[in-house]
Structure 1
Amino acid sequence: MESALNLTGKLVFLLVLIYGCYGDLQDLSGKVFVIPMTTSTSHVKLHANVSKPISAMTMCQRFNSEQERGQSLFSLATQSHDNDLLLYKRSMGVYRVHIRGDVLDFFSLPDSKNEWISICWTWDSTTGLTQLWVNGKRSARRILKPDTSVTGTPSIMLVQEQDSYGGGFDSSQSFVGEVTDVHFWDSVISPCEIQMYMELNKFTAGNILNWKDLQFSIEGKVFIEKSEFRNECYNY
């Protein structure tokens, strides 16, 4: 009986520990993450159940920033690659994508300070084709890392770029501003779905990350506030 009680106690402690670290699933509709200052510590860790290698993907988010310098928008690292999937805004209108350590730059895409930017990034390892959509404008299709996949337990971060698995942050690469509507699919969603996301119409939420059903943890100076970006007039 005593051993059974001890086992039960350990299981309860483990569940409390998991719950305390990861938190509950939350519907963040109409909310934004606010990152008001440059730091090398503040970040949002997104917790996702990825049960199989990622061989295709779409990531969408909206952001608003007054910064002109480089900033990390989305960072997915594994034990084997710190830049497994990284979306980085190098400068105004210049976006860089990393897949398993290889890099491509996209130029002359929409960008404005202190205005909301909606961005989606797709990649299909079958062909290697990857592209960005920014405020409804699609980039040219490019080839990056065909015939490969992202394997291992992912560490997914907003605000900071991971130069090591779950860490290695550099304040000069950190994002300052607001982020909302983050979604991630383990497939390339259709151009129609992307346009619906861009135009604030109804779309199929991400099956890996879903802003309406998100599990996350916050470290440092990151706040959750109401967004002025969406109102009841939108059919979302």
Structure 2
Amino acid sequence: MTFFLLLGMLAFCNATPQDLTGKMFTFPQKTNTDRVKLRTTQDTFEAVTVCLRSFTDLTRSHGLFSMATPSNANAFLIFKKTSQIELDVMSTTNVNFDWQQYKLDTWHDVCATWDSKTGLGQLWLDGRPTTRKLLKSGSIKGTPMIVIGQEQDAHGGGFDSDQSFVGMLTDVHMWNYVLSSCEIQRYMNDLNFSPGNVLNWRALDFETVGKVVLEENQKGCV
């Protein structure tokens, strides 16, 4: 038993990040299990920026990005509601941003930022920013569990199929600082930008659970 545990630990420690340029994760079904776990060694965040691209036909609520710590199930959450996108920081404060032009079966570029010093958060959709709004001050601390495909109600669990993501996700990046508006625009316009220093799609340490398919990106041809 100890031997197999050691092998598992070695496999985890020796996991090689993969360059997923030109790839996407497809989540083909409603479930409370299927997900992708994204790994990082960082356990303290004074600021966060997360950017991703998503495609779905879901009209119900669903999670786009979920980071939990042992003390905060929603340490940093991007959650799509029927007519709103919710940004939640440290489980106690969330702000809803209304978007009337979030179309189905369309690729959308989504970025979210938060700064612990000011407590201000902001969302960007397809190159357009929201008004900056007050979330929560203070650092995010603790071993993070980062998941796409599900929304965590506990550290690494508490999944609800009615909040699962069905569709495609690609180009997931995360930084431990607030990206400038120019850098966000460069990301959204597929220009040269500084890749995430916490999560980098071009060197991603991840694990798929359940029926998640890694395949060629269908964003379009150049």
TM-score bin (small chain): over 0.9
Q: After TM superposition, give the deviation of residue 162 of structure 1 in Å.
A: 0.7
Of residues 109, 116, 127 in structure 1, which corresponds to 2:118? 127
What 5-or-longer segments of structure 1 have no aligned partner? 1-8
More strand by share: 2
1:177 and 2:177 equivalent? no
| 1:132-151 equivalent positions in 2, closer than 5 A | 132-146=123-137, 148-151=138-141
Q: Give me the TM-score of the superposition, normalised by structure 1.
A: 0.88
Task: Tell me the matched-pair count.
Answer: 220
1:162-211 CA distance string (max 9 Å, x none): 11110010000000000000000000011010000011111000000000
State the alpha-carbon separation in 2 of the partners of residues 13 and 43 from structure 1: 23
1:26 aligns with 2:26: no
**TM-score of the aligned structures, taking structure 2 as reference length:** 0.94
- Please give the root-mean-square deviation of Cα atoms over the aligned residues, in Å: 1.8
Aligned amino acid, residue 178 of structure 1: M
Task: Tell me how far apart the structure 2 counterparts of residues 216 and 36 of structure 1 sit (CA, whole Å).
Answer: 18
Structure 1 residues 1-236: aligned runs within 5 Å: 14=6, 16-19=8-11, 23-51=15-43, 53-92=44-83, 94-101=84-91, 102-108=93-99, 110-146=101-137, 148-231=138-221, 233=222
Given that 1:22 and 1:47 are in contact with CA atoms closer than 8 Å, whether structure 2 keeps it comes out as: no
Provide the C-alpha distance between the structure 2 equivalents of 1:189 and 1:32, rounded to a whole number of angstroms.
23
Amino acid at match of 1:43: R
Q: CA distance change for structure 1 residues 40 and 66 in 2, over 3 Å: closer, same or farther?
A: same
- SS of match in other structure, 2:72: coil
Q: Alpha-carbon deviations, 1:71-94, whole Å to 9, x = none?
A: 0000000110111111100114x1
Structure 1 distance, partners of 2:131, 2:176, is: 21
CA distance in 1, matches of 2:12, 2:71: 27
Which stretches in structure 2 are left out of the alignment for 5+ residues? none
Q: Which has the larger radius of gyration?
A: 1
The 3-state SS of whatever aligns with 2:59 is coil
How many Å apart are 1:229 and its aligned residue? 1.3
CA distance in 2, matches of 1:134, 1:125: 22
% identity of equivalent residues: 41
